[in-house]
């Protein structure tokens, strides 16, 4: 009797010890080899808890529909830079996976706010949400998150230009367990948001407000005073942030904006003093 791979226990051996060693591309290649392999891979997709498409430059919508129709237990979903992704494609995978903890939609430019409704309304275990450069994110998105979610610890809204103080204040008031918050390059953000962070986000460890041109030393000083667990503060390209607020923070945490003395050291290194030998 010839024993093949498919004769092994699917649940105890193949799903646990063999298929996890394959890439998604390998799994799809295996799936296309026979009817039984197709059944095997699709049963395996039901069990997987992590889907990361960020390494795949040419992942197709057709393949994504296969994942959406079979995956039901995903916890970690990384769709970063999947520019082909649409609402119609995203909705089913969010709707079929109610236990998502991590969702990365960075750079997914083809979506709209309506695509997030299954995530916001049903995925109550969500802790990390990344939507960097998703310019379609609206004020109502954050308001809905604040109304229906409660466990967020990490949020990235970098370059979500439609956001502003009012919705960010609502957001920070709700999510007091935030450890990581990125709101860089949102030009309407002012010290009002920073004061709310200082008042409500005492667990914060990493704050990125790079390129928020309207915040000042007053807001940074309040964050530094009340967010005692802060480990890194990114404020580069914030024109009104100076050593008045940063000097006392540098010993406690990483600050990305160099001190002026750093520039002087670079200048002295680049342009060494030339000794003059004057003869009179």
- Tens of pLDDT, residues 163-217: 999 999 999 999 999 999 999 999 999 999 999 999 999 999 999 999 999 999 9
pLDDT at 280: 38
pLDDT at 259: 81
List of the chain residues with pLDDT < 50: 261-271, 273-280
Alpha helices in 48-164 (DSSP H): 61-70, 87-95, 117-122, 139-148
Gap between the Cα atoms of 5 and 12, Å rounded: 13
Q: Look over the chain and give the mean of its residue pLDDT values, rounded to a whole number.
A: 92
Cα dihedral across residues 141, 62, 38, 104: positive or negative: negative
pLDDT at 58: 85
Q: Which residues pair with residue 168 across a beta bridge?
A: none
Eight-state DSSP code of residue 132? T
Does the 49-269 domain belong in CATH 3.80.10.10?
Answer: yes
- Cα 91 to chain centroid distance, Å, stands at 19
Cα dihedral across residues 65, 98, 171, 175: positive or negative: negative
pLDDT at 271: 47
Hey, where are the domains in the chain? 1-47, 49-269
């Amino acid at each position: 009797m010839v024993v093949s791979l498919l004769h092994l226990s699917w649940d105890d051996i193949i799903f646990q010890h063999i298929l996890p060693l394959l890439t998604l591309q390998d799994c799809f290649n295996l799936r296309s080899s026979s009817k039984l392999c197709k059944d095997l891979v699709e049963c395996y997709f039901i069990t997987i808890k992590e889907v990361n498409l960020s390494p795949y430059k040419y992942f197709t919508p057709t393949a994504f529909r296969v994942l959406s129709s079979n995956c039901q237990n995903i916890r970690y979903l990384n769709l970063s830079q999947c520019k082909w992704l649409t609402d119609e494609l995203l909705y089913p995978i969010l709707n079929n996976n109610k236990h998502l903890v991590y969702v990365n939609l960075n750079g997914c430019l083809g979506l709209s706010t309506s695509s997030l409704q299954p995530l916001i309304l049903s995925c109550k275990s969500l802790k990390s949400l990344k939507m960097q450069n998703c310019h379609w994110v609206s004020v109502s998105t954050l308001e809905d998150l604040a109304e229906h979610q409660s466990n967020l610890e990490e949020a990235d809204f970098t370059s979500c230009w439609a956001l502003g103080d009012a919705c960010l204040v609502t957001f920070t008031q709700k999510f007091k367990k935030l450890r990581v918050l990125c709101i860089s390059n949102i030009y309407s953000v002012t010290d009002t948001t920073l004061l709310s962070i200082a008042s409500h986000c005492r667990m914060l460890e990493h704050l990125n407000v790079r390129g928020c041109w309207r915040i000042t030393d007053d807001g940074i000083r309040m964050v530094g005073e009340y967010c005692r667990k802060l480990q890194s503060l990114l404020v580069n390209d914030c024109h009104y942030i100076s050593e008045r607020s940063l000097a006392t923070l540098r010993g406690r945490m990483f600050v990305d904006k160099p001190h002026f003395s750093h520039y002087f050291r670079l200048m002295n290194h680049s342009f060494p003093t030339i000794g003059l030998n004057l003869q009179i």
